Homo-oligomer: A and B are copies of this chain.
């Protein structure tokens, strides 16, 4: 697609955003219900397109050009995937409105009020893997939070995502929300063109690996909320409880090894190498986890047969690196240097060690005696998630609807002649800064 068209898409998204500012948020909820109906009405056609995507993908898999995992993710008709996709729309519709709430309010002077109010960000460009249901998930989150979105899924799902996006637009057309609120694009070239349009696009959300995120950060002035790899670790502290250590190490690794919150590294305090480590290693090996040990952790398991150490590798499979370190402090330093600042867990009986670990580890999640797999928007209680941000700016860790809003400051003077700054200063009026208790802006209609 030409740059001209990318420009049109981006401008249309911004216009749709600006045109929707006076529409009440209840209409966004209504739109979600209409989208659900429209998807249900067009199910046969969408599933047919999905079958074509699957057929093409099977040929790729047969030729060894695509993984079975990717193929499985493509299938929209598998198990209850279609129904849970539609249920997800209703779940998002039922979440609290993330816009309109006041997070700071102050009376600056008699009859001069300031409100900081949550509002949508604007136009989102979301780039994600070849999982067609993500189109519907992200569209729901964008609409619920009042943002317009331009969506780009993996190319293997193009036929499906095109029809999903058409059905979403058909649903929107029955409401006051502009039909161009959600637009789908197909090619990387379109993404490149859109990344230049910082006058229209407010935030890029790439979901995928480190290289996708870095490529996008390199090529745009638009802020990027990256969802890069998770390189999570579990640290077994001096005097750790064996049961806790076994349970947390196993669950962090095997509950869902392909997830970004699965652990890739197990760090052992040197004092547990001959005590806690052997039963933990036994449990991991019995669960078919391949252990890549450093020499001290290997020596302690001489009766077993693990392989040499291989650190700083993202496995996303049943392989786990094991390293022995002399102290809590060195474990914290190791994690800060080698982890991806996603989620790290300590197994410990010491309150002081728990506190030191949680303060010292510079990650989005620092857990005590709990599996790294808990790092997830649903488990955190956000209802759903946009993804897990590995950045520190704007939103960090699992991102719920709150991560898709910003705020603006609204100020109103009710004084008979308005308010001017020139009246304040030394030997003039002083600012009052009296807190106002308000959950919404009283003068908005």
- By a beta-carbon cutoff of 8 Å, the part of chain A in contact with chain B is 17-18, 21-22, 106, 108, 112, 114, 121-122, 198, 202-203, 214, 217-218, 221, 223-225, 241, 243-244, 247-248, 250-251, 255, 332-333, 336, 347, 351-352, 354-356, 358-360, 362-371, 373-375, 378-381, 391-394, 396-398, 406-422, 424, 431, 433, 441, 443-445
Contacts and interface: CB of A to CB of B under 8 A. Distances in A.
A397 B409 contact: yes
A377 to B, nearest CB: 11
Contact of A255 (B243, B416, B421): B421
Contacts of A381: 106, 108, 114, 431, 433
A206 to B, nearest CB: 12
Q: Is the interface of A mostly helix, strand, loop or mixed?
A: mixed
A250 to B, nearest CB: 7
A420 B248 contact: yes
Contact of A419 (B369, B378, B394, B409): B369
A103 to B, nearest CB: 10
A410 B431 CA distance: 38
Contact of A366 (B108, B393, B410, B418): B410
A232 to B, nearest CB: 13
Given A359-B444, A367-B410, 13 more contacts: A21-B360, A121-B393, A223-B224, A247-B420, A248-B418, A352-B445, A355-B445, A364-B408, A365-B408, A365-B411, A369-B418, A374-B411, A381-B433
Contacts of A379: 108, 421, 424, 431
Centre residue among A351, A366, A393, A431 by max chain B CB count within 10 A:
A393
A209 B114 CA distance: 27
- Copies of this chain, tallied across the complex: 2
A336 B380 contact: no
Nearest to A216: B221
Centre residue among A106, A336, A358, A368 by max chain B CB count within 10 A:
A358
A-B complex: 10 closest residue pairs judged by Cβ atoms:
A251-B420, A217-B221, A244-B418, A381-B433, A369-B418, A373-B421, A355-B445, A368-B412, A223-B393, A369-B413
Centre residue among A203, A217, A355, A370 by max chain B CB count within 10 A:
A370
Contact of A364 (B255, B370, B409): B409
A408 B363 CA distance: 7
12 contacts: A202-B393, A223-B223, A223-B393, A364-B409, A368-B413, A370-B411, A370-B412, A378-B431, A381-B433, A393-B394, A393-B406, A396-B409
A121 B414 CA distance: 39
Contacts of A444: 355, 358-359
